[in-house]
Chain A
Amino acid sequence: MIGQALNRVDGPLKVAGRATYAYEHWEAGQPLYGFIVGATIGKGRITRIDTDRAERAPGVHMVMTHHDVPAQGTPDPSIPFEYWRAYPALSGPDVHHYGEPVALVVATTFEQARAAANLVGVEYAGGPGSYDFAACQDQAYAPDALIYGMIPTGTAAGDLDTGFDSAPVRIDVRYTTPYELSQPMEPHACLVVPDGEDLIVHVSTQIVDAARASIAGTLQIDPQRIHIIAPYVGGGFGSKLRIHAETILAAFAARALGRPVKVALTRQQIFHLTGVRPTSSQRVRLGAQRDGRLVAIAHEVTMHTNRHSEYIEPTAAATRGLYAAPHRLTSHRLTPLDLPRGEDVRAPGEAPGLLVVESAMDELADALGMDPVELRIRNEPTVDPERGVPYSDRHLVECLREGARRFGWERRPATPASVREGQWLVGYGMAAGIRGHIQAPTAARVRLAADGSAVVQSDMTDIGTGTYTILTQVAADGLGLPPDRVRVELGRSEYPVSPGSGGSWGAANSSTAVHRACEALREKLVDTARNDARSALHGLDPAGAKFSDGSVSIDGVSEALSEIVARNYPDGMAAEGETLAMTDDPNYRDYALHTYGAHFAEVGVDADTAEIRLRRMLGVFSVGRVLNAKTARSQLIGGMIWGVGAALEEEAVVDPRSGAFVTRDLAHYLVPVHADIPDVDAVVLDGYDDKANVLGAKGLGELGICGAGAAVANAVFNATGVRVRDFPITLEKVLPGLPPMET
């Protein structure tokens, strides 16, 4: 069962429009609608807020501002991950960024709430703010904090300056990456239903436990009084790891009014209210011998942060584990601006970091006159270059070779701008990818009913990742049941606690916990049967027990699980299983656990207009054991498409006068569409990482992005001879460097 390409078990619901997302629950009857009013300045204070006209508008039930929001908890820095901390909203007259909530209007209908929101009159004083990243570099500072409370911002080995300066071949380049946003298709939304002293919260969230903790901490009530329901989440990509203002304000309003209140952010509001991947300026220095062996690697990153609320993206961290070299330097610095704060966006750190490092490696290959694939292979480390520990299961070289073979890499244009097919300049590019695998404490419960069917329960979410399906497979495998005898229930705070979907840790965490629960259940079943005089297995040696087809057999004697359960536990039996924290598992200390990828892309660049079209793309990946071949491939391709978007399209542009994002909808913040994506394929090498967990599986939800964009960028260089170092690579950046038009 494990590894098979089982169709998504929630597929029938999703294709029929019957999967229910946060905003859609109707059990509590007609709700009230909330609409957030956002600040129209980037920095300053509210001096006056006039809610009279809004309050008197048709259908309006309340208008909440910082004057009347109830007392709120503040974020507790001793809580290790910020997603579990309080998130106060409307907490005072100060404005920290454009769009920050200044009021919530609640009305009978959505149209009434939206119209009344426009009637709230706000006057401001203060500003101007700092919004221009490039102009504020003199204010960059090295933060004191550890990234995620765990990762140092700076590392060094050897003597980088000397090592680099004395290298025969040197690349010293600066790249920039833009502000990017997660932009899940489902806007951030919630429906909060008061239930006595409790609140039932339907919310689009990646981590149920964090949502509960954050809401409880902000509202200053017992977490047991908050009930989170999130069975289906329409994408998160980092932006729903934490609770944001719309949920907090909806909760306050629901409590105050004693009525269900729903709030969904508009697509425009998402841009200012849910965090952003920081813009970055990255300096990469690569020093190499003439045979390509690296002697020096430096990756120095400066990124934006909101002045009041720090977020450090680990952009140079992936470089630390990627290639060997004796002289090394990585650093992260923050430039304080009055813009929305940074938050995790899919593959935080690796996405912008590998985009740049793998482009720089391509520049080195070009300077050396060396095949980019061979350059990577030449620098393959034998141990983690900065931690000094062995890799648990590293197969980057196999990915590179297999990818090169399948792609036809030998047909790559030998020199840039040398191949033309009709209107198109054609080029090939490649890049390596790496991502650390992590693990966190997770619990799951499996119940076996008297009819022999199983139910898996976890507060784990399925954000499109396929959790429902893989846990069905793990439980079916663990109990020897056909998959249609297993039901998976997710996304409720009443279920055993997990750290949710994020960091690509969800699948391995939850699968391991479910596997352990099944182990415990199997032991209990066999023990029960052999001690039961009425059982066919009475007195038999448990060592040879085998589970399949809904039965357990020992030495050829078998009994249906339903019989054992019905006779001994007519109300059903259950067991729990858990996954340990990384810090409690010595493998994570003694080994470097990563997943790996190799990307190959072919692009065409229009010889006259410099329009860039992807023609085909292939990723070959090593992830340990695959839990479901179909959903794994989908996740990886999805990540690769994100890489294409990062390389060629995505950019949130800031208005330097107001600190607002000018690109504020899906027509201006461009994400890949159908026509942008031709044949893209992902191949996964068979594998098993026995250091990761008992299933040998590692996460892959973000691996697809890692390095993908660089393969596309490198293909553009190969096609045109033009190296663009400011992402996204749009045609006006390539055009000046193209050969003159033929007349």
Chain B
Amino acid sequence: MTVFIVNGQKIEVEPDPRESLLDVLHGRLALFGTKKGCDHGQCGACTVHLDGRRVVSCLTLAVQADGREVRTIEDVAREDGTLDPMQQAFIDNDAMQCGYCTPGQIMSGLACIAEGHTGDDDEIREYMSGNLCRCGAYVGIVAAIRQAAEQEA
């Protein structure tokens, strides 16, 4: 039995040992906000926070989450639906197009701020390079992260 916390809720599952945390989020918890883009840790669309640090959930085996805390995009907005400043910044700066990479970009963006990697735009770009965006919303994403970082400061 693997027991962990997802978005503040205790979850108990018997995962297939081959099952990734991403596939548990999808297949067992119907939490589809985290996206599967490549299943090989190359695109960042599946980024979640594990014990407060960003990881690619496709390369995290479900059993590795045992006893730990997972936070997904579904937890970012407030209970009453109010958007986090990062989410609002993404909307204001049109930091998305198709939206598929967006949850991963936001989870990585929040982590960048927590890590102290939002010193300037070049640093943001460097530390966000694990999150691909084929629509090319990079300019808006960097502006959004900068805006959210400034609001946080």
Chain A residues close to B by CB (< 8 Å):
7-8, 10-21, 23-24, 26, 109-112, 115, 182-187, 232-235, 237, 264, 266-267, 463-466, 630-631, 633-635, 637-642, 665-667, 671-675, 677-681
- How many angstroms between the C-alpha atoms of A642 and B136 in the bound complex? 8
Chain A residue contacts of B126, Cβ below 8 A: 674-675
Q: Which residues of B contact A21 (CB under 8 A)?
A: 32, 35, 100
CB A20 to nearest CB in B, in angstroms, measures: 7
Q: Is the CB of A187 within 8 A of B36?
A: yes
Please tell me the size bucket of the interface on B. 35 or more
B17 to nearest A CB, angstroms? 9
- Proximity string of chain B (111-153) to chain A, C-beta cutoff 8 Å, 1 when within and 0 when not: 0000000000010111011011111111111100000000000
Residues of B within 8 A of A16 (CB): 33, 73-74, 76-77, 83, 87
CA distance A522 to B16 in the complex (A): 59
Set of chain A residues within 8 Å of B32, measured between Cβ atoms: 17, 20-21, 23-24, 26
Residue contact B141 to A674, C-beta cutoff 8 Å: yes
Q: Which residues of B have CB within 8 Å of A26?
A: 30, 32
Bound CA span A115–B128, Å:
33
> Smallest CB–CB gap between B100 and chain A, Å?
3
Provide the bound-state CA to CA distance between A264 and B35, in Å. 12
Contact assessment for B91 and A11 in the assembled complex, using a CB-CB cutoff below 8 Å? yes
B57 at the interface (CB under 8 A from A): no
**Docked CA distance A10–B96 (Å):** 10
Residue of A nearest to B98 (CB): A464
B125: min CB distance to chain A, Å: 4
B93 to chain A, nearest CB (A): 9
Instruction: Taking A17-B74, A185-B98 as given, write out 16 further A-B residue pairs in contact, using a Cβ cutoff of 8 Å, ordered by the A residue number.
Output: A10-B99, A12-B91, A13-B99, A15-B103, A17-B33, A109-B27, A111-B18, A184-B134, A185-B37, A233-B98, A634-B94, A638-B137, A641-B136, A665-B38, A674-B138, A675-B129
Q: In the complex, which residues 66-115 of chain B have their Cβ closer than 8 Å to any Cβ of chain A? A: 72-74, 76-77, 83, 87-88, 90-92, 94, 96-103, 106
Interchain CB contact under 8 A, A665 and B134: no
Residues in A neighbouring B19, C-beta threshold 8 A: 109, 111
Q: 6 A-B residue contacts at CB 8 Å?
A: A17-B74, A19-B99, A186-B37, A631-B94, A674-B131, A677-B139
Name the residue in A10, A13, A14, A24 with the highest tally of chain B Cβ atoms < 10 Å from its Cβ: A14
Contact in complex: A677, B125 (CB < 8 Å): yes
Decide if A17 touches B72 in the complex (CB within 8 Å). yes
Please tell me if the beta carbons of A185 and B101 are within 8 angstroms of each other in the complex.
Answer: yes
B residues near A (Cβ < 8 Å) are 16, 18-19, 23, 26-27, 30, 32-40, 42-43, 45, 72-74, 76-77, 83, 87-88, 90-92, 94, 96-103, 106, 122, 124-126, 128-129, 131-142
Residues B137 and A634 in contact, CB atoms below 8 Å apart = yes
Establish whether residues B83 and A12, one from each chain, have CB atoms under 8 Å apart when the complex forms: yes
Task: Give the chain B neighbours of A11 by CB distance below 8 A.
Answer: 90-91, 94, 96
A184–B136 alpha-carbon span in the complex (Å):
11
Cβ–Cβ < 8 Å partners of A264 in chain B? 36
Contact A111 B98 (CB under 8 A): no
- Which residues of A sit under 8 angstroms from B37, Cβ to Cβ? 185-187, 267, 666
Q: Which chain A residue has the least Cβ–Cβ distance from B33? A: A17
Cβ of A638: which chain B residues have Cβ within 8 Å of it? 97, 135-137
Chain B: minimal CB distance from A404 (Å): 22
A185 with B100, Cβ < 8 A, contacts A7-B91, A109-B16 known: yes
State which of A13, A20, A267, A635 has its C-beta within 8 Å of the C-beta of B38.
A267
Known: A26-B30, A464-B97, A638-B137. A15 touches B40 (CB 8 A): no
State whether A234 touches B83 (Cβ < 8 A): no
Q: How far is the CB of B84 from chain A (nearest CB, A)?
A: 8
B97 contacts A673, C-beta separation under 8 Å:
no
CA distance A192 to B124 in the complex (A): 40
**Residues B98 and A234 in contact, CB atoms below 8 Å apart:** yes
The contact of B99 among A234, A671, A672, A675, by CB within 8 Å, is A234
Are A464 and B16 in contact, with the CB atoms below 8 A?
Answer: no
Docked Cα-Cα span, A464 to B102, in Å, equals: 11
Beta-carbon contact of B18 and A8 below 8 Å: no
Q: How far is the CB of B21 from chain A (nearest CB, A)?
A: 13
Chain A nearest CB from B59 CB (Å) reads 12
CB distance from A707 to the nearest CB of B (A): 16
**Cβ contact within 8 Å between A115 and B33:** no
A613 to chain B, nearest CB (A): 11
B30: chain A residues at CB < 8 Å are 26
Asked if residues A667 and B42 are in contact (CB atoms below 8 Å), the reply is: yes
Let me know if A15 and B87 touch, CB within 8 A: yes
Contact B98 A15 (CB under 8 A): no
Whole-angstrom CA separation of A464 from B99 in the bound complex: 7
B residues less than 8 Å from A675 (CB atoms) = 125-126, 129
Please give me the 8 A-B residue pairs with the lowest Cβ-Cβ distance, nearest first. Answer: A17-B33, A464-B98, A234-B100, A464-B97, A14-B99, A638-B136, A641-B136, A17-B73
Chain A residue at minimum C-beta to C-beta distance from B140: A634
Is there contact, CB below 8 Å, between A18 and B136?
A: no
Residue in chain A with minimal CB distance to B26: A24
- With both chains docked as a complex, state the minimum distance between the C-beta of B148 and any C-beta of chain A, in angstroms: 11
Taken together as a complex, chains A and B put the C-alpha atoms of A533 and B19 apart, in Å, by 69
Return the chain B residue nearest A237 by Cβ: B134
CB proximity of A125 to chain B, nearest CB, Å: 33
Q: Which of B43, B87, B90, B136 contacts A672 (CB 8 A)?
A: B136
CA distance A237 to B135 in the complex (A): 9
Cα A26 to Cα B33 with chains together (Å): 13
A677 and B100 contacting across the interface, CB-CB below 8 Å: no
